[in-house]
Amino acid sequence: MFYKSLSQYFLTHEHMSKKMILDPNVKEQHGSIKERGTFMKLKWGFLAAIFTILTALTGCEPLMVLDPKGPMAKTQADDIMLSIYIMSFIVLAVFGILIFMLIKYRASKQSKDYEPPHIEGSALVEAICIGIPILIVAFLSIVSVKSNYEVEATPKGYEDKKPLVVYASSSNWKWHFSYPEEGIETVNYLYIPTDRALEFKLYSHGPITSFWIPQLGGQKYAMSDMVTTLHLAADVPGEYFGRNANFSGKGTAENTFDVKAMPQAEFDEWVKEVKETAKPLTEEKFDELLEPGHLGKSTYIGTHLEFSPPPSAANGGHDHGSDGSDEHSDHEHADHESHESGNHSEHDHESHESDEHDNH
């Protein structure tokens, strides 16, 4: 039975091959069937790929940049979604026009010597093809510039509140957070109060890094010869993820830090607890922390700003940020100079008295 079926298959196939050679219409019909089969395979393959991607995405957590917990992050998330909506509309419109053109101007049963009417051009079509992209780019440019000014200023609603100033400096591969007003410093973790403006002063003790808390706002670079200012705010208490978003060596992947946002009262209690339990940060200990490597979390009384001030005009650096962003550094430097000046005056006075005593 098997051999009989196999013989019939080969006889049929041989008959069809001879018929295709003798009859061009049969050959054309057979080619159309093969094309339809190929099209169906591509169609089902495309649908299978879409189904696989959608199935995989349903198990993913929401993107952090699209899950904002502060006003700056919300502004950026809104811009991202607006761009996605506009681009999706453009893609759908282009594919719609493509399908329309393929159907309307597909191969027809016209005679071989048929020639379509000659058209010089259409001012309307050219205006649409050029005008719409210009309008889209202009609209996105206006939105982007407006948003940039918003995220570079104090968050709206917090203008009348005193911001919490935190000096965030990086080293290989750690983050140091100095609270000059509170007189404490942390390594690899950051505690912040909610419903209060945050003013980060960023710089680096080594290569260029990028300070980024995705759910609170965008990233900004930290460099060794200047201080950059980043304005953020947290509206919702919770734990967030922060990291260095710029490649800075083999330890970049683990150059991360934890962020915890809490009410102001809880933040004040934490500051009080740190002052009662933490050890003081000495210059020797800070030099040890600057050694390349990874460390856990640690907390100290005092800040390294007292003996290792941030870059400023006084020591060869400069500031990039809001007005008065380097007031703390200048104030500390002035105090340090006045203290040294006082010491020199006392030393000169003692030397003068010693000379008088020798003369007598």
Range of the domain at 318: 164-334
The domain tally of the chain equals 2
**Are 169 and 90 within one domain?**
no
Phi-psi region of 121 (alpha: psi -120 to 50; beta: other; left: phi over 0): left
In the numeric block, the tokens 């058209």 are attached to: 119
Q: Which residue do the tokens 């683990």 mark? A: 254
Q: Per residue of the chain (360 residues), what is the pLDDT tens digit?
A: 444 444 554 445 454 454 444 455 544 554 555 555 666 667 677 777 777 776 666 555 678 999 999 999 999 999 999 999 999 999 999 999 999 989 888 877 778 788 878 878 888 889 988 999 999 999 999 999 999 999 999 998 888 889 999 999 999 999 999 999 999 999 999 999 999 999 999 999 999 999 999 999 999 999 998 999 999 999 999 999 999 999 998 999 999 999 999 999 999 999 999 999 999 999 999 999 999 999 999 999 999 999 999 998 544 455 555 544 444 444 444 444 444 444 444 444 444 444 444 443
Q: In this structure, are 178 and 296 located in the same domain?
A: yes
Helices (H), 23-122: 24-58, 71-104
Q: 205 and 326 share a domain?
A: yes
With respect to residue 156, please indicate whether it lies within any of the assigned structural domains: no
- Are residue 310 and residue 190 in the same domain, yes or no? yes
My answer on whether 189 and 267 are in the same domain is: yes
3-state secondary structure of 192: strand
Amino acid at 295: L
Residue 120, domain member (yes or no):
no
Assigned domain for 34 exists: no
Residues 144 and 175 in one domain: no
Are residues 186 and 244 located together in one domain of the fold? yes
Residues 255 and 143 in one domain: no
C-beta of residue 136 within 8 angstroms of C-beta of residue 144: no
The dihedral region occupied by 183, where left means phi > 0, alpha psi between -120 and 50, and beta the remainder, is left
* DSSP per-residue letters across 68-86: --SHHHHHHHHHHHHHHHH
Enumerate long-range contacts of 133-138, CB under 8 Å, 24 or more apart. Answer: 136/86, 136/90
Same domain, 199 and 279: yes
pTM listed for this prediction: 0.70
Residue 57 included in any domain: no
Question: Tell me, what CATH number does 277's domain have?
Answer: 2.60.40.420
Does residue 83 fall inside a structural domain?
Answer: yes
Which residues, including other chains, have CB under 8 Å from residue 214's CB and lie 6 or more apart?
64, 65, 73, 240, 241
37 φ/ψ angles, rounded to the nearest 5 degrees: -65, -45
Indicate whether 235 and 143 sit together in one domain: no
> Is 173 a member of any domain?
yes
> Among residues 317, 335, 337, 336, which one has the least CA distance to residue 326?
317
